[in-house]
């Protein structure tokens, strides 16, 4: 089984992922982190991003220039769509390879047989919702999400709201979610533990 963890900025996706990994031994593929890795390591991505964004998207030492990428991404919705159209397919392919490797050796090491997870703010937009068996939406009140994002990124409220406006509305995500995890300050571990036990029961009765 594959779990897809998604949610808007500041919702707490990474915290849920960390709980899954630390308390239940579930391997989690972090799309943001792996996308950054692929943008540095993949010759195909390097070539395509340089052609799209410009030579300054990579620094003289060959590493992705985060500032140049951010400027391009947030200049317009069309720019973001163009970058995503290049990056998402390779991330999706890399995830499938990763999941296959993890699932083949997971049963003896995880407290949850044959379960992996993928974390992505753009799970739906990247077409990866169809790659998972269960979509888990992590949600929180908007004011709390903004405060978390401001503290984490050192961003202004205006900047955070601009990023939120570029993501799918939460009501759309709720319609597509199989599970909604309320991260409004309550203890998340009992919620996740109950979900994991349900997965184990389903696995044992399969």
| Tens of pLDDT, residues 78-91 | 999 999 999 999 99
* 197 pLDDT higher than 70: yes
Per-residue model confidence (pLDDT) at position 84: 93
Sign of CA dihedral 36, 37, 40, 43: negative
Q: How many CA atoms lie within 13 Å of 63's alpha carbon, on the beta-carbon side?
A: 4
Nearest to 168 by CA among 105, 115, 126, 110: 126
* 10 pLDDT higher than 70: yes
Q: pLDDT band at 63, cuts 50/70/90?
A: very high
Domains in the chain, ordered, with CATH? 2-201 (3.40.50.300)
Per-residue model confidence (pLDDT) at position 107: 57
Per-residue model confidence (pLDDT) at position 1: 84
Q: If you average pLDDT over residues 18-36, what whole number do you get?
A: 94
Of 7 and 107, the one with more pLDDT: 7
Q: How far apart are the C-alpha atoms of 105 and 118, rounded to whole Å? A: 17
For the entire predicted model, the pTM comes to 0.88
Q: If you average pLDDT over residues 198-203, what whole number do you get?
A: 71
């Amino acid at each position: 089984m594959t779990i897809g963890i998604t949610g808007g900025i500041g919702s707490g996706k990474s915290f849920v992922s960390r709980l899954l990994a630390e308390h239940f031994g579930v391997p989690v593929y972090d799309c943001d982190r792996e996308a950054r890795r692929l943008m540095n390591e993949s010759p195909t991505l390097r070539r395509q991003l340089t052609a799209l964004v410009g030579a300054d998207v990579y620094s003289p030492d060959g590493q992705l220039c985060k500032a140049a990428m951010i400027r391009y991404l947030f200049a317009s919705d069309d720019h973001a769509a163009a970058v995503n159209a290049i990056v998402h397919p390779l991330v999706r392919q890399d995830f499938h390879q990763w999941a296959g490797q993890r699932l083949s050796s997971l049963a003896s090491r995880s407290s949850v047989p044959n379960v992996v997870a993928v974390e992505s703010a753009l799970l739906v937009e990247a077409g990866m919702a169809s790659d998972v068996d269960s979509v888990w939406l992590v949600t929180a009140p908007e004011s709390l999400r903004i405060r978390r994002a401001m503290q984490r990124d050192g961003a202004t409220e205006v900047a955070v709201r601009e990023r939120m406006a570029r993501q799918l509305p939460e009501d759309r995500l709720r319609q597509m979610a199989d599970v909604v995890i309320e991260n409004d300050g309550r203890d998340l571990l009992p919620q996740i533990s109950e979900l994991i036990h349900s997965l184990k029961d389903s696995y044992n009765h399969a």
